[in-house]
Amino acid sequence: MKRLLTGFLLFIGLQMLPTQIHAQSCTFSTSNMIFSGSPLSGAAINGTTSLTANCSAALGLFRRVLICPNLNAGTGGATSAARLMTGPIALNYQLYQDSARQTVWGSWMWAFPARPPQFFVDIPAVLGSGSTTVTMYGQIFPNQATAPVGSYSSNFSGAQTTFRYRFDDGAGCANLSGASGTTNFTVSLQTVKDCLVSAQNIDFGNRGVLSANIDQNGQVAVNCSPNTPYVVALGPGGANAGPTARRMTKGAEFITYGLYRDVARALPWGDTSGTNTLGGTGSGVTQNLPVYARIPPQTTPTPGLYSDTIIVTVTY
């Protein structure tokens, strides 16, 4: 009778093991990844977000839950080189596992070679629970300065975020077995009108007697968002004079000069909107605007270095 009873108890113990293996439950939450910046400079724009796994399990003592967070293309789609955000045009970006943004966060369930990371949630006690938070890194690719102003986004939910999980068995995420869950988040960028400006100095060189016109050219480089109207104004300089009566100074002495919008030096360039400024429309590509300068004949001051500073203002 003792042998029969011992065998019966052993049989019950063996039958209970599969129930223990599958008695885990996990939920996942992810905050939105909101990029901040402008593509206009041509530089990459980086962002981050957090993914948290909360798991609980009966008889979970000293057990670990393996998390396989598969992220597919998102609603914007993907190519072999990038994920895409939809908007006025398709904007190239990518999600990564590492802060260096070298290892793409992919999926075992899409057509591209990139795979997801794997991480673990420890279950510390019987009927216990645990959580783990990992960082997801994003980057909007550089050299997309011609992207029009607007809203760009890609959504992840449902089949785009098929997360697999199970008690860790050493087989890793290549083994697609286990329970599944999903998360929801959005990757987005809101661009606004923007302009970048730089200016080239104007050097009249070394001169003697100021008995004839002395001409020299400079340049203002303006890069504004596509379809963004802009107006460029040149300030009056240190003498607070009109466009053709600016002054380069050396102490109390000065040399009068003018700045113009045309090569014939007939259209002064100043800061009175609608009168002597210069306008254009942005394209996302730098537009070089020539500045034509002239020193007219005048009484020659004493030798030395004469200079002035002009403030360039772009209104858009």
**Residue where one domain finishes, among candidates 190, 220, 241:** 190
Domain presence at residue 166: yes
The verdict on 110 and 168 lying in the same domain is: yes
Domain presence at residue 16: no
The verdict on 155 and 247 lying in the same domain is: no
The verdict on 281 and 301 lying in the same domain is: yes
Let me know: does 84 contact 154? Beta carbons within 8 Å.
Answer: yes
Res. 2: pLDDT tops 50? no
What confidence score (pLDDT) does residue 61 get? Answer: 65
Q: What is the mean pLDDT of residues 294-315?
A: 98
Q: What is the mean pLDDT of residues 117-140?
A: 92
**Residue where one domain finishes, among candidates 143, 175, 190:** 190
The verdict on 86 and 186 lying in the same domain is: yes
**Residue where one domain finishes, among candidates 143, 168, 190:** 190
For residue 59, name the pLDDT band (cuts at 50, 70, 90).
Answer: low
The verdict on 178 and 200 lying in the same domain is: no
Q: How many Å apart are CA 60 and CA 295, to the nearest integer?
A: 86
Res. 302: pLDDT tops 50? yes
Tell me how many degrees the CA angle 175-49-180 measures, rounded to the nearest 5.
Answer: 30
Q: What is the pLDDT of residues 153-201, one digit of tens each?
A: 999 999 999 999 999 999 999 999 999 999 999 999 999 999 999 999 9
CATH of the domain at 217: 2.60.40.1090
Range of the domain at 234: 195-315
What confidence score (pLDDT) does residue 120 get? Answer: 97
Q: What Å distances lie between residue 56 and 129, 161, 181, 260, CA to CA?
A: 4, 20, 14, 74
Q: How many Å apart are CA 125 and CA 191, to the nearest integer?
A: 48
Q: What is the mean pLDDT of residues 302-310?
A: 98
For residue 18, name the pLDDT band (cuts at 50, 70, 90).
Answer: very low
Query: DSSP character for 108?
Result: T
Res. 12: pLDDT tops 70? no
Tell me how many degrees the CA angle 290-311-198 measures, rounded to the nearest 5.
Answer: 50
Q: What is the mean pLDDT of residues 287-299?
A: 98
| pTM of the predicted model as reported, rounded to 2 decimal places | 0.84
The verdict on 240 and 176 lying in the same domain is: no
CATH of the domain at 45: 2.60.40
Domain presence at residue 230: yes
Q: What is the mean pLDDT of residues 89-118?
A: 98
The verdict on 83 and 161 lying in the same domain is: yes
Domain presence at residue 4: no
Q: What average pLDDT does the structure give for the chain?
A: 92
Res. 20: pLDDT tops 80? no
